[in-house]
Amino acid sequence: MEAWSPILADFREFPDNGGMPFAYFARLSAARQRVYRRSDAIEAVAVPPGFAAGGMVAALRAALAAEDPRDVQARCQQLTDALVAALGVPPVRIVVMARRPSDDYGELHGLYEPEDAGRSARITVWMRTARREQVVAFRSFLRTLVHEWCHHLDYELYRLPETFHTEGFYKRESSLANLLLAQEAQAGAPG
């Protein structure tokens, strides 16, 4: 039997784009293009067998619905701590803020800051939209958390020197978000 690997390269949720990189690829140096291609080749986050986070996802959904920032932050931290343990990567600190910052270009949904000079990596996510100050829809909130988590994996699991928004990156994000939502649904299903 083949050993479990954190890299799964045969995820097919998105249609093949013929290997065409995003437009900014042409402006990258040759070294950065190699990193981009490595990132693009990783199409899913493979979690080890037995990883179960459905209850944690449901608790996060309930905390967000209750509009309790402290509980949302605690539930996000619990979920990412479980992912840290499952994937064997360094920890990341979660910060949940109230209203998304915005400017003329749009709203900031999440922010990943890698480990730096002994300071742990940090993910910041916001609970409310910038204009209407409404609580973010749960799926959007979870996808934002997972998106920032995937930046952490780029550095810590895949050992990429840079993290790019490649098609592979978005497929990794989608694979993990879909897994978590499916586990939540399964956890809520009557036994």
What is the tens place of the pLDDT at every residue in 94-137?
999 887 766 666 777 888 999 888 889 999 998 888 777 889 99
Q: Averaged over 148-170, what is the pLDDT?
A: 95
65-186 topology per CATH: Zincin-like (3.30.2010)
Share of the chain above pLDDT 90, in %: 66
Q: Averaged over 146-169, what is the pLDDT?
A: 95
Question: What's residue 13's pLDDT?
Answer: 34
Kindly tell me if the per-residue pLDDT of 7 is higher than 70: no
What is the tens place of the pLDDT at every residue in 31-75?
999 999 999 999 999 899 999 999 999 999 999 999 999 999 999
Question: What's residue 160's pLDDT?
Answer: 96
Kindly tell me if the per-residue pLDDT of 10 is higher than 90: no
Q: Averaged over 13-37, what is the pLDDT?
A: 74
The length of the chain is: 191
Q: What is the DSSP string of 72-109?
A: HHHHHHHHHHHHHHHHT---EEEEEEEEPPEETTEE--
Question: What's residue 117's pLDDT?
Answer: 86
Kindly tell me if the per-residue pLDDT of 180 is higher than 70: yes
Q: Averaged over 156-180, what is the pLDDT?
A: 95
115 half-sphere exposure, CB direction, 13 A CA radius: 12
Question: What's residue 3's pLDDT?
Answer: 39
Give the model's confidence band at 30: pLDDT under 50 very low, under 70 low, under 90 confident, else very high.
very high
Between these two residues, 80 and 106, which has the higher pLDDT value?
80
Contacts of 27 (CB under 8 A, 6+ apart): none
Q: Is 24:162 a contact under the CB 8 Å cutoff? A: no
